[in-house]
Amino acid sequence: MTQYSKSDDAIAQLSEEEFFVTQQSGTERPGTGKLLYNKDPGIYVDIVSGEPLFASGDKYESGCGWPSFTKPIEPAHVQEQEDKSHGMIRTEVRSTHGDSHLGHVFPDGPRDRGGLRYCINSASLRFIHRDEMEAQGYGAYLNQVEG
């Protein structure tokens, strides 16, 4: 099993926006994320730790301006905590091993798929195409990605 962790090297390689989002709990501007319209088969991993977070089959178009998913690919890799910033109460989503801010989860997702909407910043994610998953050490998740 691969060990996932936060490292100074990984953080040093982040772009300014990636650092702002993952390390300072920032938010990218809606509609600007590089993965918003990605429809390729594969998985989305934490840009800092590499831990698997979401599968392409659980991604859907919510219209909110950020990539949206119905559930995590590996629930143990996603932590939820109360966020009272910006004058509202929301549920923040962070990666377990990387401790990266990913986004928020809301109860307004597709009812037939569990009812949740994981609203995630593209800047917190790295996409690994299905064809590259085995070579990059994510072969165990191939059965969770559509062919």
Kindly report the pTM of this predicted structure: 0.94
Element (H, E) at 117: strand 117-120
Structure confidence at residue 1 as a pLDDT band (50, 70, 90): very low
How buried is residue 53: exposed, middle or buried, by Cβ count under 10 Å (0-12/13-18/19+)?
A: buried
Number of domains in the chain: 1
CATH of the domain at 19: 2.170.150.20
All residues at 6 or more sequence positions from 133 whose CB lies less than 8 Å from its CB, including other chains: 42, 43, 139, 141, 142, 145
Report the first-to-last Cα separation within the chain, whole angstroms. 24
Determine, yes or no, domain membership for 145: no
Determine, yes or no, domain membership for 60: yes
Determine, yes or no, domain membership for 147: no
Determine, yes or no, domain membership for 141: no
Structure confidence at residue 7 as a pLDDT band (50, 70, 90): confident
Which active-site residues does the annotation give? 119
Please give the pLDDT value at position 5: 83
- Residue 10 pLDDT more than 60? yes
Q: Average pLDDT of 10-39? A: 96
Determine, yes or no, domain membership for 123: yes
Half-sphere exposure of 113 (CA within 13 A, CB side): 16
Per-residue pLDDT tens for 91-112? 999 999 999 999 999 999 999 9
Determine, yes or no, domain membership for 143: no
Please give the pLDDT value at position 2: 54
- Residue 47 pLDDT more than 60? yes
Q: Which residues span the domain enclosing 124?
A: 8-136
